[in-house]
Protein backbone atom coordinates (compact mmCIF):
# COMPACT_ATOMS: atom_id res chain seq x y z
CA UNK A 1 0.00 0.00 0.00
CA UNK A 2 0.92 3.62 -0.38
CA UNK A 3 1.85 5.46 2.83
CA UNK A 4 3.80 8.42 4.15
CA UNK A 5 7.29 7.42 5.25
CA UNK A 6 9.31 9.42 7.78
CA UNK A 7 12.94 9.24 6.61
CA UNK A 8 14.33 11.82 9.02
CA UNK A 9 14.01 15.51 9.86
CA UNK A 10 12.65 17.44 6.89
CA UNK A 11 12.04 14.26 4.92
CA UNK A 12 8.54 12.80 4.79
CA UNK A 13 7.64 11.27 1.46
CA UNK A 14 5.15 8.88 -0.05
CA UNK A 15 6.37 5.29 -0.33
CA UNK A 16 5.34 1.65 -0.09
CA UNK A 17 4.55 -0.24 3.11
CA UNK A 18 3.26 -3.81 3.44
CA UNK A 19 -0.53 -4.17 3.10
CA UNK A 20 -1.94 -4.50 6.62
CA UNK A 21 -3.42 -7.90 7.51
CA UNK A 22 -5.10 -9.27 10.63
CA UNK A 23 -2.29 -10.56 12.87
CA UNK A 24 -4.13 -10.94 16.18
CA UNK A 25 -7.81 -11.85 16.77
CA UNK A 26 -8.40 -8.36 18.28
CA UNK A 27 -7.06 -6.58 15.16
CA UNK A 28 -9.06 -4.82 12.48
CA UNK A 29 -7.87 -3.45 9.17
CA UNK A 30 -9.18 0.04 8.45
CA UNK A 31 -9.15 1.61 5.00
CA UNK A 32 -8.28 5.27 5.63
CA UNK A 33 -10.64 7.94 4.27
CA UNK A 34 -9.10 11.07 5.81
CA UNK A 35 -5.80 11.58 7.60
CA UNK A 36 -3.92 14.71 8.61
CA UNK A 37 -0.68 16.14 9.91
CA UNK A 38 -0.41 16.92 13.62
CA UNK A 39 1.48 19.74 15.30
CA UNK A 40 3.43 17.02 17.08
CA UNK A 41 4.44 15.52 13.70
CA UNK A 42 6.10 18.90 13.10
CA UNK A 43 8.32 18.43 16.15
CA UNK A 44 9.64 15.27 14.42
CA UNK A 45 9.80 16.97 11.04
CA UNK A 46 11.88 19.79 12.52
CA UNK A 47 14.13 17.36 14.37
CA UNK A 48 13.05 18.72 17.76
CA UNK A 49 11.69 15.38 18.98
CA UNK A 50 12.97 11.93 17.97
CA UNK A 51 10.92 9.68 15.67
CA UNK A 52 11.82 6.27 14.26
CA UNK A 53 12.10 6.00 10.49
CA UNK A 54 9.01 4.46 8.91
CA UNK A 55 5.28 4.96 9.39
CA UNK A 56 3.94 8.31 10.58
CA UNK A 57 0.57 9.96 11.32
CA UNK A 58 -1.73 9.15 14.21
CA UNK A 59 -5.05 10.74 13.22
CA UNK A 60 -7.51 9.10 10.85
CA UNK A 61 -11.06 8.13 10.10
CA UNK A 62 -11.84 5.23 7.83
CA UNK A 63 -13.92 2.22 6.97
CA UNK A 64 -13.50 -1.15 8.64
CA UNK A 65 -12.35 -3.52 5.94
CA UNK A 66 -11.74 -6.63 8.00
CA UNK A 67 -12.21 -7.49 11.66
CA UNK A 68 -10.51 -10.28 13.62
CA UNK A 69 -12.45 -13.03 15.40
CA UNK A 70 -12.34 -11.30 18.82
CA UNK A 71 -13.39 -7.84 17.64
CA UNK A 72 -16.68 -6.71 19.23
CA UNK A 73 -18.74 -3.61 18.64
CA UNK A 74 -17.62 -2.75 15.12
CA UNK A 75 -18.06 -4.56 11.82
CA UNK A 76 -16.81 -4.35 8.25
CA UNK A 77 -18.25 -1.48 6.26
CA UNK A 78 -18.63 0.82 9.28
CA UNK A 79 -17.14 4.31 9.45
CA UNK A 80 -14.92 4.71 12.51
CA UNK A 81 -12.91 7.40 14.28
CA UNK A 82 -9.52 6.31 15.60
CA UNK A 83 -8.15 7.96 18.73
CA UNK A 84 -4.43 8.66 18.31
CA UNK A 85 -3.47 5.71 20.49
CA UNK A 86 -4.99 2.27 20.86
CA UNK A 87 -5.92 0.90 24.28
CA UNK A 88 -7.81 -1.95 25.92
CA UNK A 89 -10.15 0.25 28.03
CA UNK A 90 -10.22 -2.45 30.74
CA UNK A 91 -6.92 -2.07 32.60
CA UNK A 92 -6.61 0.02 35.80
CA UNK A 93 -5.04 2.96 33.90
CA UNK A 94 -7.67 3.08 31.15
CA UNK A 95 -10.40 2.83 33.78
CA UNK A 96 -8.70 5.71 35.63
CA UNK A 97 -8.78 7.88 32.50
CA UNK A 98 -5.17 7.56 31.36
CA UNK A 99 -5.37 5.56 28.15
CA UNK A 100 -1.82 6.66 27.22
CA UNK A 101 -0.60 4.48 30.13
CA UNK A 102 -2.36 1.31 28.93
CA UNK A 103 0.21 -1.52 29.14
CA UNK A 104 -1.43 -3.23 26.16
CA UNK A 105 -1.70 0.01 24.18
CA UNK A 106 0.47 1.90 21.76
CA UNK A 107 0.61 4.70 19.24
CA UNK A 108 -0.19 4.78 15.54
CA UNK A 109 2.48 5.91 13.11
CA UNK A 110 5.43 5.40 15.45
CA UNK A 111 7.67 4.13 12.67
CA UNK A 112 6.53 0.50 13.02
CA UNK A 113 2.75 0.45 13.69
CA UNK A 114 0.80 1.63 10.62
CA UNK A 115 0.15 5.37 10.54
CA UNK A 116 -2.91 7.41 9.66
CA UNK A 117 -1.03 8.96 6.75
CA UNK A 118 -1.41 5.82 4.66
CA UNK A 119 -3.99 3.89 2.68
CA UNK A 120 -4.77 1.39 5.44
CA UNK A 121 -4.01 0.68 9.09
CA UNK A 122 -3.88 -2.51 11.12
CA UNK A 123 -5.55 -1.43 14.37
CA UNK A 124 -4.64 -3.54 17.41
CA UNK A 125 -7.34 -3.81 20.14
CA UNK A 126 -9.77 -2.56 17.50
CA UNK A 127 -12.99 -3.21 19.39
CA UNK A 128 -11.96 -1.11 22.39
CA UNK A 129 -10.15 1.53 20.34
CA UNK A 130 -12.23 2.49 17.31
CA UNK A 131 -15.41 4.49 17.77
CA UNK A 132 -18.15 3.73 15.20
CA UNK A 133 -20.00 6.68 13.66
CA UNK A 134 -23.78 6.23 13.45
CA UNK A 135 -25.61 7.14 10.24
CA UNK A 136 -24.52 7.26 6.61
CA UNK A 137 -23.83 9.80 3.90
CA UNK A 138 -22.17 12.34 6.20
CA UNK A 139 -21.20 15.54 4.38
CA UNK A 140 -17.56 16.42 3.92
CA UNK A 141 -17.62 19.10 6.65
CA UNK A 142 -18.84 16.52 9.16
CA UNK A 143 -16.15 14.04 8.08
CA UNK A 144 -13.48 16.69 8.69
CA UNK A 145 -14.87 17.39 12.14
CA UNK A 146 -14.93 13.66 12.91
CA UNK A 147 -11.27 13.51 11.90
CA UNK A 148 -10.53 16.37 14.30
CA UNK A 149 -11.83 14.19 17.17
CA UNK A 150 -8.96 11.79 16.54
CA UNK A 151 -6.58 14.19 18.28
CA UNK A 152 -6.84 18.00 18.10
CA UNK A 153 -10.39 18.45 19.33
CA UNK A 154 -9.99 15.79 22.02
CA UNK A 155 -6.73 17.46 23.04
CA UNK A 156 -8.25 20.95 23.15
CA UNK A 157 -11.12 19.51 25.19
CA UNK A 158 -8.59 17.84 27.51
CA UNK A 159 -6.91 21.19 28.18
CA UNK A 160 -10.26 22.67 29.18
CA UNK A 161 -11.28 19.67 31.29
CA UNK A 162 -7.91 19.55 33.05
CA UNK A 163 -8.12 23.27 33.87
CA UNK A 164 -11.61 22.74 35.25
CA UNK A 165 -13.36 25.11 32.81
CA UNK A 166 -16.96 25.61 33.91
CA UNK A 167 -19.99 27.73 33.16
CA UNK A 168 -19.35 31.45 33.49
CA UNK A 169 -15.54 31.18 33.57
CA UNK A 170 -13.02 33.50 31.98
CA UNK A 171 -10.56 31.36 30.04
CA UNK A 172 -7.24 32.36 28.47
CA UNK A 173 -6.02 30.13 25.65
CA UNK A 174 -2.30 30.30 24.90
CA UNK A 175 -1.63 29.05 21.37
CA UNK A 176 -3.52 29.63 18.14
CA UNK A 177 -2.60 26.38 16.42
CA UNK A 178 -5.25 23.75 15.74
CA UNK A 179 -5.22 22.56 19.37
CA UNK A 180 -5.48 26.10 20.75
CA UNK A 181 -8.41 26.85 18.45
CA UNK A 182 -10.10 23.61 19.51
CA UNK A 183 -9.46 24.58 23.15
CA UNK A 184 -11.44 27.77 22.49
CA UNK A 185 -14.28 25.70 21.01
CA UNK A 186 -14.15 23.25 23.93
CA UNK A 187 -14.23 26.11 26.46
CA UNK A 188 -17.31 27.58 24.82
CA UNK A 189 -18.91 24.13 24.79
CA UNK A 190 -18.26 23.83 28.55
CA UNK A 191 -19.94 27.16 29.19
CA UNK A 192 -17.07 29.66 29.49
CA UNK A 193 -18.44 33.19 29.33
CA UNK A 194 -15.31 35.02 28.31
CA UNK A 195 -12.59 33.42 26.19
CA UNK A 196 -9.37 35.32 25.59
CA UNK A 197 -7.39 33.91 22.66
CA UNK A 198 -3.72 34.81 22.36
CA UNK A 199 -3.11 35.08 18.63
CA UNK A 200 -1.32 37.39 16.25
CA UNK A 201 -2.46 35.84 12.96
CA UNK A 202 -5.59 37.39 11.39
CA UNK A 203 -6.89 34.12 9.88
CA UNK A 204 -6.46 32.28 13.18
CA UNK A 205 -8.07 35.14 15.10
CA UNK A 206 -11.07 34.85 12.82
CA UNK A 207 -11.43 31.11 13.44
CA UNK A 208 -10.94 31.72 17.18
CA UNK A 209 -13.82 34.21 17.12
CA UNK A 210 -16.02 31.77 15.17
CA UNK A 211 -15.20 29.14 17.81
CA UNK A 212 -16.23 31.45 20.65
CA UNK A 213 -13.31 33.74 21.53
CA UNK A 214 -14.61 37.02 22.94
CA UNK A 215 -11.26 38.80 23.16
CA UNK A 216 -8.04 38.58 21.16
CA UNK A 217 -4.61 39.45 22.56
CA UNK A 218 -2.02 39.95 19.83
CA UNK A 219 0.97 40.65 22.06
CA UNK A 220 3.46 38.07 23.25
CA UNK A 221 5.49 37.54 26.42
CA UNK A 222 5.27 40.18 29.16
CA UNK A 223 3.04 42.38 27.06
CA UNK A 224 0.55 39.56 26.55
CA UNK A 225 0.50 38.82 30.27
CA UNK A 226 -0.24 42.48 31.02
CA UNK A 227 -3.00 42.55 28.39
CA UNK A 228 -4.76 39.53 29.93
CA UNK A 229 -4.42 40.99 33.42
CA UNK A 230 -5.89 44.27 32.14
CA UNK A 231 -8.84 42.37 30.64
CA UNK A 232 -9.48 40.55 33.91
CA UNK A 233 -9.29 43.48 36.32
CA UNK A 234 -5.79 42.48 37.39
CA UNK A 235 -6.96 39.08 38.67
CA UNK A 236 -6.02 36.70 35.87
CA UNK A 237 -8.00 34.01 34.08
CA UNK A 238 -10.08 31.42 35.94
CA UNK A 239 -8.49 28.84 33.67
CA UNK A 240 -5.42 29.14 31.45
CA UNK A 241 -4.95 26.56 28.69
CA UNK A 242 -1.41 25.93 27.44
CA UNK A 243 -1.59 24.56 23.89
CA UNK A 244 1.92 25.09 22.50
CA UNK A 245 4.58 23.60 24.76
CA UNK A 246 7.39 26.13 24.39
CA UNK A 247 9.21 27.79 27.28
CA UNK A 248 7.52 31.11 26.53
CA UNK A 249 3.99 29.75 26.12
CA UNK A 250 4.27 27.80 29.38
CA UNK A 251 5.52 30.91 31.21
CA UNK A 252 2.70 32.98 29.71
CA UNK A 253 0.01 30.46 30.68
CA UNK A 254 1.16 30.41 34.31
CA UNK A 255 1.48 34.19 34.45
CA UNK A 256 -2.09 34.79 33.22
CA UNK A 257 -3.67 32.10 35.44
CA UNK A 258 -5.22 33.59 38.55
CA UNK A 259 -3.80 32.46 41.89
CA UNK A 260 -5.50 29.29 43.07
CA UNK A 261 -6.37 28.12 39.55
CA UNK A 262 -5.21 25.13 37.53
CA UNK A 263 -3.41 25.47 34.20
CA UNK A 264 -4.42 22.87 31.61
CA UNK A 265 -1.32 21.77 29.69
CA UNK A 266 -1.55 19.84 26.43
CA UNK A 267 1.33 21.28 24.40
CA UNK A 268 4.10 18.66 24.21
CA UNK A 269 6.47 20.23 26.78
CA UNK A 270 9.68 21.75 25.49
CA UNK A 271 10.04 23.99 28.54
CA UNK A 272 9.74 23.97 32.33
CA UNK A 273 6.88 24.66 34.69
CA UNK A 274 8.00 27.48 37.06
CA UNK A 275 7.76 25.40 40.23
CA UNK A 276 8.61 27.93 42.96
CA UNK A 277 6.56 30.74 41.42
CA UNK A 278 3.50 28.50 41.04
CA UNK A 279 3.90 27.23 44.61
CA UNK A 280 3.64 30.73 46.03
CA UNK A 281 0.53 31.45 43.96
CA UNK A 282 -1.23 28.18 44.79
CA UNK A 283 -1.38 27.48 41.06
CA UNK A 284 -1.51 23.92 39.89
CA UNK A 285 -1.35 22.23 36.54
CA UNK A 286 -2.92 19.15 35.04
CA UNK A 287 -2.70 17.74 31.58
CA UNK A 288 -0.77 15.45 29.31
CA UNK A 289 -1.78 13.41 26.28
CA UNK A 290 -5.58 13.41 25.95
CA UNK A 291 -7.52 10.20 26.58
CA UNK A 292 -9.19 10.76 23.20
CA UNK A 293 -10.97 7.39 23.28
CA UNK A 294 -12.82 8.49 26.40
CA UNK A 295 -13.81 11.90 25.00
CA UNK A 296 -14.75 10.90 21.42
CA UNK A 297 -18.22 9.45 22.14
CA UNK A 298 -19.52 12.65 23.82
CA UNK A 299 -17.86 14.98 21.28
CA UNK A 300 -19.09 12.83 18.37
CA UNK A 301 -22.71 13.52 19.28
CA UNK A 302 -22.07 17.27 19.16
CA UNK A 303 -20.35 16.98 15.77
CA UNK A 304 -23.26 15.01 14.30
CA UNK A 305 -25.75 17.50 15.79
CA UNK A 306 -23.80 20.38 14.24
CA UNK A 307 -23.16 21.91 17.69
CA UNK A 308 -19.38 21.96 17.10
CA UNK A 309 -17.40 22.07 13.88
CA UNK A 310 -13.73 21.52 14.79
CA UNK A 311 -13.01 20.49 11.18
CA UNK A 312 -12.78 24.22 10.46
CA UNK A 313 -9.15 24.04 11.62
CA UNK A 314 -8.15 22.31 8.37
CA UNK A 315 -7.08 25.07 6.01
CA UNK A 316 -4.88 23.12 3.61
CA UNK A 317 -5.80 19.98 1.69
CA UNK A 318 -3.90 17.56 -0.40
CA UNK A 319 -3.63 13.82 -1.11
CA UNK A 320 -1.16 11.15 -0.09
CA UNK A 321 1.00 11.69 -3.18
CA UNK A 322 1.62 15.25 -1.97
CA UNK A 323 2.20 14.45 1.69
CA UNK A 324 5.50 16.37 1.61
CA UNK A 325 3.53 19.53 0.69
CA UNK A 326 1.20 18.93 3.64
CA UNK A 327 4.19 19.04 6.02
CA UNK A 328 5.83 21.97 4.26
CA UNK A 329 2.66 24.07 4.43
CA UNK A 330 2.52 23.64 8.21
CA UNK A 331 6.26 23.98 8.72
CA UNK A 332 6.24 27.28 6.83
CA UNK A 333 3.14 28.35 8.81
CA UNK A 334 1.12 28.76 5.63
CA UNK A 335 -1.35 26.26 7.08
CA UNK A 336 -2.80 25.74 10.54
CA UNK A 337 -3.44 22.07 9.84
CA UNK A 338 -3.14 19.96 6.71
CA UNK A 339 -5.83 17.49 5.71
CA UNK A 340 -4.83 14.48 3.64
CA UNK A 341 -7.52 12.94 1.46
CA UNK A 342 -6.75 9.25 1.19
CA UNK A 343 -9.90 7.33 0.20
CA UNK A 344 -13.64 7.74 -0.26
CA UNK A 345 -16.53 6.54 1.91
ZN1 LIG B 1 -5.64 -0.08 29.26
Condensed to tens digits (0 to 9), the pLDDT of residues 144-183 reads 999 999 999 999 999 999 999 999 999 999 999 999 999 9
| Extended beta strands in the chain, E state | 2-8, 11-16, 28-36, 54-55, 60-67, 79-82, 85-86, 106-107, 120-123, 131-132, 170-174, 194-198, 215-217, 237-242, 257-265, 284-287, 316-319, 338-341
3-state secondary structure 245-296: CEHHHHHHHHHHEEEEEEEEECCCCECCCCHHHHHCCCCEEEECCCCHHHHH
The shares of helix, strand and coil residues in the chain, as percent rounded to the nearest 5, are: 35, 25, 40
Distance 156 CA to ligand 1 centre (A): 22
Distance 75 CA to ligand 1 centre (A): 22
b/e string for 7-28 if b means 16 or more Cβ within 10 A?
A: eeeeebebeebeebebeeebbb
Helix (H/G/I), strand (E/B), else coil: 38: coil
Distance 85 CA to ligand 1 centre (A): 11
Distance 107 CA to ligand 1 centre (A): 13
Distance 292 CA to ligand 1 centre (A): 13
pLDDT at 18: 97
Distance 324 CA to ligand 1 centre (A): 34
Distance 163 CA to ligand 1 centre (A): 24
Distance 89 CA to ligand 1 centre (A): 5
Distance 323 CA to ligand 1 centre (A): 32
Handedness of CA 225, 227, 229, 231 (dihedral sign): negative
Distance 318 CA to ligand 1 centre (A): 35
Distance 178 CA to ligand 1 centre (A): 27
Distance 155 CA to ligand 1 centre (A): 19
Distance 123 CA to ligand 1 centre (A): 15
Distance 296 CA to ligand 1 centre (A): 16
What is the crossing angle of helices 292-304 and 140-149, to 10°?
160
Bridge partners (DSSP) of residue 215 are 196
Distance 83 CA to ligand 1 centre (A): 13
pLDDT at 269: 87
Handedness of CA 329, 320, 308, 261 (dihedral sign): negative
Q: How does the average pLDDT of the chain come out, rounded?
A: 97
Which helix (H) or strand (E) segment holds residue 184: the answer is: helix 178-189
Helix (H/G/I), strand (E/B), else coil: 316: strand
Residue 218 vs residues 118, 197, 229, 319, 330: alpha-carbon distances, Å: 37, 9, 14, 34, 21
Length of the chain: 345
Distance 255 CA to ligand 1 centre (A): 35
pLDDT at 224: 97
Q: How far apart are CA 344 and CA 321, in angstroms?
A: 15
Distance 265 CA to ligand 1 centre (A): 22
Distance 91 CA to ligand 1 centre (A): 4
Distance 86 CA to ligand 1 centre (A): 9
Q: How far apart are CA 328 and CA 1, in angstroms?
A: 23
pLDDT at 274: 86
Distance 101 CA to ligand 1 centre (A): 7
Distance 312 CA to ligand 1 centre (A): 32
Which helix (H) or strand (E) segment holds residue 226: the answer is: helix 221-231
CB 71 within 8 A of CB 28: yes
pLDDT at 283: 97
Distance 90 CA to ligand 1 centre (A): 5
The pTM of the full predicted model, rounded to 2 decimals, is: 0.97
Distance 94 CA to ligand 1 centre (A): 4
CB 133 within 8 A of CB 41: no
Distance 290 CA to ligand 1 centre (A): 14
| Extended beta strands in 128-214, E state | 131-132, 170-174, 194-198
Strand order in the sheet with 2-8: 11-16, 2-8, 54-55
**Residue stretches of the chain with pLDDT short of 50:** none
Query: In sequence order, what are the residues at sequence separation of 6 or more whose Cβ sits closer than 8 angstroms to the Cβ of residue 42?
Result: 327, 330, 331
Q: How far apart are CA 316 and CA 17, in angstroms?
A: 25
Distance 73 CA to ligand 1 centre (A): 17
Amino acid sequence: MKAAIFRGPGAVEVGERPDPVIQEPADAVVRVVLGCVCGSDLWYYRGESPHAAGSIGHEFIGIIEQAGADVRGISPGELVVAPFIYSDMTCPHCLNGSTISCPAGGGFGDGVIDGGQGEAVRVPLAGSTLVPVPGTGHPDAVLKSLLALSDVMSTGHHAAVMAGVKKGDTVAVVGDGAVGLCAVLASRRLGAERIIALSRHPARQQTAREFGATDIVEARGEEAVQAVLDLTGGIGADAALECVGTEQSIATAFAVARPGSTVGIVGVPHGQVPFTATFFRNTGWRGGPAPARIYIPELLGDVLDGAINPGRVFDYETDLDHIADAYRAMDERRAIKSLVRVGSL
